[in-house]
Chain A
Amino acid sequence: MARRLAGFLVLLLVVSICEAAFLFQPISDSHRSTALELFTPDHGSFKSLEETYEALRTFQILGIEKKPDLTATACRSISETVGSSSSTAKDLFYALKANSIAECKIDKKASKGIISRLKAAVSGASSLLDFYYSVGGLVLIKDQSSEADVHLADAEGVFRSVKAFSQSDGRWRYSSNNPESSAFAAGIALETHAGIVSLASSEIDQSLISTLKNDIIKLFDSIEKYDDGALYFDDKLVDGHEYQGPVSTTSSVLRGLTAFAAVTAENLNLPGDKILGLAKFFLGIGVPGDAKDFFNQIDSLACLESNRVSIPLILSFPSTVLSLTRKDSLKVGVSTVLGSEVPSLTVKLVGAFSSGSKDASLVESQELNFDKTSGLHILNDLPKSIDVGSYTFVFEIVLHEPKHEEVYFKGSQTKVPISVTGLIKIENSEIAVLDSDLGSIESQKKLDLAGKNAISLSANHLQKLRLSFQLTTPRGRSFKPHQAFLKLRHESKVEHIFVVGNSGKQFEIVLNFLGLVEKFFYLSGKYDMELTVGDAAMENSLLVAIGHIELDLPEAPEKAPRPPPQPVDPYSRYGPKAEITHIFRAPEKRPPQELSLAFLGLTILPLLGFLIGLLRLGVNLKNFPTKPLPATFAVLFHVGIGAVLLLYVFFWVKLDLFQTLKILGFLGGILVFVGHRILSHLAAASAKLKSA
């Protein structure tokens, strides 16, 4: 079976396509220290057996010493769960899993009880997880206890029941009620199937196993890809509870796949680059910060490393940026995914290509020297053909002994992007003002672009400004930087930027002011000059003020464009404005109080005059009725009128119109009645007098 496995892998992984850059670091000490931090138990024990198992397994794979108190508490909870009759299949499963690492003793009686309970659970299982826990538990107890044989009676029936949950796209459902399917469930189902096959008392029908093989291939059709070549499985996020995430899902599938490949004799026919992609995915995670993701990553890498006969070898690079100035050498490390030792091999640099160019390799094929102390393969001197810039280096591994070829998978060529930096020499820099027509130099100054400059020039619109310099790489070749700009800034902060062009090593820019007059908005005056030369490969990128130039430009015509408004101090525009104080309407000028009072007195005068006049005229009350009834009416009449007038005074002082009208209505009614009586009485009296 092992040969078959080897056959499947070597056959298929050797046919792997040359992948893109593979810059993944194998598991290292930073993983180990993080593991110790993440898997710290609360008060000595973990929250659940699942977590206990994860912690123990992680420590086991990473080679961290088992702490005795951790093992002791684990044993305690394991024996508790195993002994209790109320433990579910899930609890027993995780207890047994933890026990496979902690290796606590389980007594015969307890193990007998577990076996019978798990067998009952298998027959009573209805969902995928029920099968998984019960079958998995039986597999584990079979290895751990000294019991004779643990077998599944109707293995084929159980197999079919689990298979019934599968879907046509290679995914599995959790139960017959729940229509949601996931790749995570597929991984669990594959592990369960593997368990069933190993527990079967008789051979399972090969056709069933072939159908399962097809399911695996269909499942791999749904694999997703990152740009760097990593492959992973992910489920659609339908229900927050059920969603596991790509790390959990991919590791579940890998576990299932590994378990299944271990029990079947058949070739699974999976392309090798898919397995490689999965390895890249888990290495690409780096150091996870979550305990679950950490366990999944480590467990999956362990599946890739130890359960496989062909172990992938990883190239790792301490640094992919080399400096010519520091005379850095290219260092390469080779290890397995978990960072274990590799057999003796040589790393060959097959070629180096300039980024983006399809030309021939710049270097010959050569071997790197192996340094025993650091364990790295080193290319001591970068070839002369490698100048500053970015390159793609292609490496190959050559194993020394042929028999290792079957055990380890070295893949084909690996491409790595390497950047080389260095100091760029800037020479022959000078600035000059030329006369436009003849090209003769009016003034010329040398520049020291590495140091301080304070050049002072002057020009008018009929002249030209020329700036030139040379750039040379450490290897003596011409260099075109990513940025080469000349900036002219006017005193009013209006800026103009020009790109400095080059031909070979010589960089030159000529500003013809005659053509630039309109671009400069006809602004004459002092312009500050600034030169920027920069590139990622240049260790001495510079931004240097050259000096200033006095430009004399003609007057702006009427329709000339205005320079753009410069940004104002944001506080002055967006800050608070001056406070507005509301100016109320000035009150009218009132007359002095004494004048008003004087006129009040004057107004009373006519009334007095009226009263005096009445007296002079000799008014009397002789016509006032003497009989009691008319007299009452007469009195009431006058009182009524007086009341109305008093009401009017109250109206002016306090009441509003409606109240007044209400009272007036009432008083008016009385007045009309009384007035009518008295006046008709008076009229009758005078009529009698006239007729008499």
Chain B
Amino acid sequence: MGRTSSTKEDAGALFHSLRSAYAATPVNLKIIDLYVGFAIFTALIQVVYMAMVGSFPFNSFLSGVLSCVGTAVLAVCLRIQVNKENKEFKDLPPERAFADFVPCNLVLHLVIMNFLG
């Protein structure tokens, strides 16, 4: 009884500590996290739609899902590079990271638009 309640309390305590830790992250990182969440959510909705109506036309589905996933991945890369606590990218100015992020996204979306059909 103590153990189950402790696991529940532990889960609650874990959640709270995560939440407070997260609150400490800088705003720009939070923006990027929000963007990633938006992209993944959109992908999920598309997958649910496909599950409902079937995979015709398959190329459209793929391009839709991959655009979401691709842009999420690129955003995660941006977050890694912009995060000040990351020792590896200490010398990389965030503007430079953003300057990489924008063209990569543009190329991704060109390919996606071509594949959309």
Q: Which A residues touch B13, using CB under 8 A?
A: none
B83 part of interface (Cβ distance < 8 Å) = no
Which residue of chain A is the closest to B40 with respect to CB atoms?
A606
Chain A 544-559 interface 0/1 with B at a Cβ cutoff of 8 Å (1 = within) = 0000000000000000
A652 part of interface (Cβ distance < 8 Å) = yes
- Among A595, A609, A671, A675, contact of B52 (Cβ-Cβ < 8 Å): A595
A651 part of interface (Cβ distance < 8 Å) = yes
Which residue of chain A is the closest to B106 with respect to CB atoms?
A644
A676 part of interface (Cβ distance < 8 Å) = yes
B41 part of interface (Cβ distance < 8 Å) = yes
Among A598-612, those with CB < 8 Å from B are 599, 602-603, 605-607, 609-610
Known A606-B38, A609-B38, A613-B34: A648·B113 in contact at CB below 8 Å: yes
The reply to whether B35 and A610 contact each other, CB–CB distance below 8 Å, is yes
Which residue of chain B is the closest to A637 with respect to CB atoms?
B102
The reply to whether A610 and B34 contact each other, CB–CB distance below 8 Å, is yes
Nearest Cβ on chain B to A197's Cβ, whole angstroms: 108
The reply to whether B27 and A618 contact each other, CB–CB distance below 8 Å, is yes
The reply to whether B31 and A617 contact each other, CB–CB distance below 8 Å, is yes
Known A617-B34, A619-B27: A651·B99 in contact at CB below 8 Å: no
The reply to whether B42 and A603 contact each other, CB–CB distance below 8 Å, is yes
Known A606-B45, A609-B41, A617-B31: A651·B113 in contact at CB below 8 Å: yes
B30 part of interface (Cβ distance < 8 Å) = yes
Which of A85-93, A110-118, A255-263, A679-687 participates in binding chain B? Answer: A679-687
Q: Which A residues touch B41, using CB under 8 A?
A: 605-606, 609
Nearest Cβ on chain B to A201's Cβ, whole angstroms: 115
Query: Within the assembled complex, what's the spacing in Å between the Cα atoms of A617 and B38?
Result: 15
Among B39-95, those with CB < 8 Å from A are 39, 41-42, 45-46, 49, 52-54, 56, 93, 95
- Among B106, B109, B114, contact of A657 (Cβ-Cβ < 8 Å): B114
Chain B 21-35 interface 0/1 with A at a Cβ cutoff of 8 Å (1 = within) = 000000100110011
- Among B30, B54, B114, contact of A589 (Cβ-Cβ < 8 Å): B54
Query: Within the assembled complex, what's the spacing in Å between the Cα atoms of A651 and B7?
Result: 55
B16 part of interface (Cβ distance < 8 Å) = no
Nearest Cβ on chain B to A647's Cβ, whole angstroms: 9
Chain A 506-524 interface 0/1 with B at a Cβ cutoff of 8 Å (1 = within) = 0000000000000000000
Which residue of chain B is the closest to A652 with respect to CB atoms?
B113
Which residue of chain A is the closest to B43 with respect to CB atoms?
A606
A208 part of interface (Cβ distance < 8 Å) = no
Chain A 640-674 interface 0/1 with B at a Cβ cutoff of 8 Å (1 = within) = 01001100100110000100100010001001100
Most buried by A among B37, B38, B46, B52: B38
The reply to whether B109 and A606 contact each other, CB–CB distance below 8 Å, is no
- The total number of A-B Cβ pairs within 8 Å is 78
Q: Which A residues touch B31, using CB under 8 A?
A: 614, 617, 619
The reply to whether A617 and B30 contact each other, CB–CB distance below 8 Å, is yes
Chain A 256-300 interface 0/1 with B at a Cβ cutoff of 8 Å (1 = within) = 000000000000000000000000000000000000000000000
Nearest Cβ on chain B to A646's Cβ, whole angstroms: 12
Known A591-B52, A664-B110: A679·B96 in contact at CB below 8 Å: yes
Nearest Cβ on chain B to A558's Cβ, whole angstroms: 56
B116 part of interface (Cβ distance < 8 Å) = yes
Q: Which A residues touch B56, using CB under 8 A?
A: 588, 590
Query: Within the assembled complex, what's the spacing in Å between the Cα atoms of A596 and B49?
Result: 8
Known A599-B49, A645-B109: A679·B34 in contact at CB below 8 Å: no
Nearest Cβ on chain B to A659's Cβ, whole angstroms: 12
Q: Which B residues touch A680, using CB under 8 A?
A: 95
- Among A590, A609, A641, contact of B102 (Cβ-Cβ < 8 Å): A641
Which residue of chain A is the closest to B27 with respect to CB atoms?
A617
Query: Within the assembled complex, what's the spacing in Å between the Cα atoms of A680 and B27?
Result: 22
Nearest Cβ on chain A to B84's Cβ, whole angstroms: 11
- Among B35, B45, B106, contact of A603 (Cβ-Cβ < 8 Å): B45
Known A617-B30, A648-B113, A683-B95: A675·B45 in contact at CB below 8 Å: no
- Among A652, A671, A679, A686, contact of B116 (Cβ-Cβ < 8 Å): A652
A-B contact pairs, 8 of them (CB 8 A): A595-B52, A602-B49, A603-B42, A610-B37, A613-B34, A617-B34, A618-B27, A651-B114
Nearest 4 CB-CB pairs, A to B? A610-B38, A591-B53, A606-B41, A679-B95
Interface residues of B (CB under 8 A from A): 27, 30-31, 34-35, 37-39, 41-42, 45-46, 49, 52-54, 56, 93, 95-96, 98-99, 102-103, 106, 109-110, 113-114, 116
Interface residues of A (CB under 8 A from B): 588-591, 595-596, 599, 602-603, 605-607, 609-610, 613-614, 617-619, 641, 644-645, 648, 651-652, 657, 660, 664, 668, 671-672, 675-676, 679-680, 682-683, 686-687
